[in-house]
Chains A and B, each alone.
Chain A
């Protein structure tokens, strides 16, 4: 594995969840200030709104849907000053969707993190932008009909004329309107290919879509990328009439079959079918049908030619089964007779405690903990009932687990404040991994949590250069001795633009801190810098730490 960390985390789609921030109390005086300048090229940009949003653990996206924001508008010189800010971790961004911030990697949560102490003023939180370009045109099919609500994609080409992977700022997706017209704005200047329609390498399965499926076609009417016409996008420029003529939509094909119990051959009723396109080590996900019928039958519709894998999953309710996946090819016709088998899985159950804590208010927060089981032998990740929670009575049960070596862990993203998983015990001894056997119930497992209010306040010093624009740093914390590759961190936090970070809710112990920086690296040639440090945390209070991150360029090691 060439990557240092390989983790599977369950996170919530936070981009759409409003985090209801608590009403401000008198104790939390909002007297902080963030100030800086927004420039376009070298000129100050007037009239731009700069937004500060309080962010949760580790710089998670909290924007959107009515989260509380504080804003200020830039003056004639592009200067802004946001006042009355609460202390804490704030995400600051300049709202200018038609402009481009070089290096910005995360269009869902752009900007900079500023960790602000109470009453503190952070100056020089500056934003440099360039004017974006516009591409607009019309999509019609070969019969001359308007193609409505079809995705249009701008693929940025790199120096070698290759289009970048379908992620990050080099990939922008838009839709045609009811006139077949699309308008993509805020594009980084450069050379682009413009396409309409779907392709299996989008990493998402779109099935049963009203309007049918259009095969990806590039401007002007090229199905193959080689014949696509390159579009020059300039800063502030508009490329008009970039029309695309696309082949007639296909309704796609159907795949049908049934879900049966692998042991009894009886139909399994009311389970959903999850399926994805299998390509290399990536798989995408779709969900078809609305539950198997009383005969265990399912039918997936609107599939484009591809290789798929499908499996059964229980969406709600407790399941004691796990599903095999079935692989199938859709070429030029419907597929029938698929058989997905479900087997009785293992289960693990037990109790959860918070060491040394009797306060019912703290114990009650355990019901927010999301438990997850990761099967180490399972390369294809399938959704299923491999998660669970702790009941108000402090018990848990995870059923329908796939046999094999598995790890039980907690989802770091929604851990209650101050609570962390200390260790897992079985028969009084600590266990890291379970050997699960089909049908076997492992009972008497104890999840031992810790509650603490110690914190680590740190500062990261970057040496060996300056971070490129848009770079971000994140700091993770594990128990000393835990392998960061084999489990999610206890906590994590985004390092602010001035190098500071704060990890809260820790108990006494020895921890391994890992700081890493990352940024857009189109050809992925660089190894992203990382630094580690062992930190001892006493029972309470604040532990000051300083870390050094060497960003001297290093080539990636060859695959090992």
Chain B
């Protein structure tokens, strides 16, 4: 048998194709191919990287660089043969780069050379280990972009032994349930706060063995709910678990599930589930309104359909339109009673717009629901250019010392939805974002960027800068010189930008200047008092005339010991204040910056004026040890 597979994760909306020839002339089983694809896909974020992939283009030859680092355990021991993936985010879906998997050596070190400058997301995996939350890298269980790594940097990745959940599944008559896939969902973080995001388990699903015993390992510490059934079996063959209601530990629905605590390196045993093989309802319909798939070379982008709980936004299941189906139909099976939302979406091909349907609400009450058609239409996009001002501007800015040269195509521009009509509990910034991530654009070498897959509404841009010497000077539509000092009509930082459904808004000018300052400091309290567990520190412009210059506002979370650090600040005079973070706030998704709301800005200014902690930072200045008494 000859087996050739393209390594695109079949579990995503991008499908693998397999070429097979076998000597009998009969269709061979796709066993090996699937296993291979599975192996490749185990490097998890590969599919995200591939989503960015399009045609190779002729780029001017330019300097390439190195990213190196070390993978260690919490106590500093090297993790040998850990796999480190560097996923480059090229501009405009035209290029992507990096390495899918570099293995660390016996001392835990790795080095990747020949890397083109662009933002990289780093993922480390090692059997039985998980990356702890404090890394400057992406967490494989959480594909939301958090941090980027740049060429020339050296990183340390800390991994901890994952926790383990083990137990036995039996049916109503007490017999072992064999070959059932176990689903674990992290619902609480290590500190006990609810996690809003879906934790995605990229590894092979763990199944019960012939004794009904399962063992899920490599889990991030936290609180979990454990279930079997629920319309997805993960098995390539037909199983009796499909279409059955999920049963949560110990023998409950999702709402009444008992949480299981998982600690690093520890085993939580006896998580036994009594399985009731009850049938759930089906939800089915068609995807209409736009071609459900686009093919380009070996890549098939087909439409995916997400089923999520209406109240919480928790993704219950995802499916996609099979390229085999000429009906464009979809179906979910084994759905418990409840209120749901369905959304269909498709990744664009090349320059095409992203497509998505409006969320459609469905109530399941003991019966199958059919005819839930989802009409897709084009989503909006924002486009513009990022310009880095030359260091020697007439404004007298000086060129600061820096470790590495940075490039405009290392900037990541994020569009975050901030719509005045938004409902307080509205979930996603983008209809295609199932994990709460905001849509991003990476500029080309010429600085041109496009952010796609936006629903209608007002957005604000956030630029993640690769260089501590840089700060965002203005976001506008026309000539932007001096705009930051003198907010003009086209101050998009202050006003945001609104797009209509399907609109392609262009002409945004984001200007980056050299000479950014930094500020480090710490919060103290009166003797005998204690700092709150989580604190957010705010900077706002001290000058009254800059009170609405949003680019002069900044906020960061303080470390546990009360230290804080601001970077990429425009030179100037600032007021500093701090607030305790409410316990209810999820660590996964920070709230919108206070500065975005005019009334909140006024409130914050009042607070800051009362604290009266004034600090002036000059161009290129790195101010440290700024101490502020925390009062509230």
| Residues of A in contact with B (beta carbons under 8 Å apart) | 2-23, 47, 49, 51, 53, 56, 58, 60-61, 63-69, 71, 91, 93, 95-98, 105-111, 132, 134, 148-149, 167, 173, 175, 177-178, 183, 185-186, 203-212, 249, 251-252, 266-271, 274, 276, 281-295, 297, 299, 301-302, 313-319, 365, 367-368, 370, 381-385, 387-389, 392, 413-414, 416-417, 474, 484, 516, 518, 528
Contact = CB atoms under 8 A, between A and B. Distances in A.
Closest 3 CB pairs of A and B: A5-B25, A270-B56, A317-B55
B240 A71 contact: yes
Residue from A13, A67, A381, A413 whose CB has the most chain B CB atoms within 10 Å: A13
B282 interface: yes
A204 B39 contact: yes
B127 A148 contact: yes
A294 B297 contact: no
Given A19-B322, A65-B232, A297 B103 contact: no
Given A61-B30, A110-B237, A316-B54, A290 B96 contact: yes
B324 A290 contact: no
Residue from A64, A98, A183 whose CB has the most chain B CB atoms within 10 Å: A64
Nearest to A312: B56
B210 A381 contact: no
B39 A209 contact: yes
6 contacts: A13-B15, A13-B33, A20-B331, A69-B240, A270-B96, A384-B298
A316 B53 contact: yes
B392 interface: no
B83 A209 contact: yes
B49 A290 contact: yes
Given A5-B24, A63-B236, A413-B324, A175 B204 contact: yes
A252 B317 contact: no
B242 A302 contact: no
B114 A299 contact: yes
B125 interface: yes
A143 to B, nearest CB: 11
A interface, by DSSP: helix, strand, loop or mixed? loop
Given A66-B333, A177-B215, A291-B56, A23 B323 contact: no
Contacts of B225: none
B94 interface: yes
B217 A66 contact: no
Nearest to B117: A294
Nearest to A266: B58
B103 A301 contact: yes
Given A58-B27, A66-B317, A474-B26, 10 more contacts: A8-B20, A69-B242, A108-B29, A208-B100, A210-B126, A251-B81, A293-B64, A316-B298, A318-B296, A516-B24
B101 A285 contact: no
B18 A518 contact: no
A16 B27 contact: no
Interface stretch (B2-10, B410-418, B510-518, B538-546): B2-10
Contacts of A56: 324
B178 interface: yes
B165 to A, nearest CB: 11
A417 B326 contact: yes
Interface string B55-95: 11111111010000000000000001111001110100011
Contacts of A249: 81
Contacts of B239: 51, 63-64, 69, 95
Residue from A17, A111, A206 whose CB has the most chain B CB atoms within 10 Å: A17
Interface residues of B, number: 130
B95 A282 contact: no
Interface in B225-270: 231-240, 242-243
A271 B55 CA distance: 8
Nearest to A297: B114
Interface in B17-43: 17-21, 23-27, 29-37, 39-40, 43
Given A3-B24, A10-B19, A17-B322, A109 B83 contact: no
Contacts of A93: 237-238
B50 interface: yes
Given A7-B25, A12-B324, A208-B43, A65 B234 contact: yes
B84 to A, nearest CB: 9
A292 B20 contact: no
Contacts of A288: 100
B164 interface: yes
A207 to B, nearest CB: 7
Contacts of B297: 314-319, 385, 387
B556 to A, nearest CB: 32
B81 A15 contact: no
Nearest to A313: B298
A66 B243 contact: yes
B10 A381 contact: no
A9 B284 CA distance: 31
Contact of A63 (B36, B237, B298, B324): B237
Contact of B164 (A178, A252, A292, A384): A178
B625 interface: no
Interface string B523-567: 000000000000000000000000000000000000000000000
Interface in B343-369: 349-350, 368
